[in-house]
Amino acid sequence: MTKRNPCAAHRGWSSRAPENTMAAIGLALSEPDIDWIEIDVQLSKDYVPVVIHDYKLRRTTNGKGKVNDWTAAELAMLDAGSWFSPLYRNEPIPTLEAVFQAAKGKCLLNVELKTDGVRYPLIEEQVLQLIRRWEMETGVVVTSFYAGALKNMSRLSGGSVRTGYIVDKWRDTLPAELADTGSDFISIDYRKLNKERVSRLNAAGVQIMAWTVNEEKAIRKITALDSDIIICTNYPDRWRSAAAAAVR
């Protein structure tokens, strides 16, 4: 039987429920073929890790201003679902701890730290505390566009927490950059991958997650490069259809 590529639900099953909510995460957890869930993490005003993508609240909630202008209790009162559908009215912004509680032992998590080194300088410490509290060291990879966050996490955790670099451009120096951050995982724009680049990353012992692969044609193209590439998608159902077609 042909080996299928692993699937990661991008911000939960975000084509069927509002992104980065427990509704979307719960849908992903209910599908046994989904191997990973990717989520985005920021800090509230009182330094609680919360799950939301944008730095500002307007697009996905009924709140205004920046995420870190609000306490965790205040953020929990916002409606993070109505923008997607009236069916999800009053769906709250979840805490990272709530996601750990739901996903532990069921699914691997790609936890993206939404930081640039200036914003959220304590985010690595706060996330690491939760990873240790929930004994999630083997259940997560902590990722970021900011290499400094990965170095901080590796240093603070003593290497017990796996880290991964997020990139939207290919550079021939990437294998060396990954080694410098202590990372063996890359989350990369799928359009930047080809056979030669995948081979280079494989040779360096780097696990590859390709984002955000939403069309079946693109899914088939990436799966043809290597059966180990994790397909990060808003549409796990399309990944499933592409995987089924590949084994016929």
- pLDDT of res. 243: 84
Could you list the active site residues?
Answer: 10, 53
Encode pLDDT of 68-118 as tens digits.
Answer: 999 999 999 999 999 999 999 999 999 999 999 999 999 999 999 999 989
The residue with tokens 């499933």 is 240
Whether 17 and 27 have beta carbons less than 8 Å apart is answered as yes
d(CA 99, CA 197): 33
Average pLDDT over residues 199-227: 98
What CATH code would you report for 7-246?
A: 3.20.20.190
- pLDDT of res. 2: 66
Encode pLDDT of 108-155 as tens digits.
Answer: 999 999 999 899 999 999 999 999 999 999 999 999 999 999 999 999
- pLDDT of res. 1: 47
Banded model confidence at residue 247, pLDDT cuts 50, 70, 90: low
The mean predicted confidence, pLDDT, of the chain is 97
Cα 124–Cα 230–Cα 56 angle in degrees, nearest 5: 45
Any bridge partners for residue 10, and if so which? 38
pTM metric for this prediction:
0.97
Q: At residue 248, does pLDDT exceed 70?
A: no
Encode pLDDT of 6-46 as tens digits.
Answer: 999 999 999 999 999 999 999 999 999 999 999 999 999 99
d(CA 188, CA 139): 20
CA atoms within 13 A on the CB side of 203: 9
- pLDDT of res. 97: 99
Encode pLDDT of 171-184 as tens digits.
Answer: 999 999 999 999 99
Output the six-digit token pair for 221: 């193209």
Average pLDDT over residues 49-68: 99
d(CA 153, CA 151): 5
Cα 108–Cα 115–Cα 65 angle in degrees, nearest 5: 110
d(CA 7, CA 21): 19
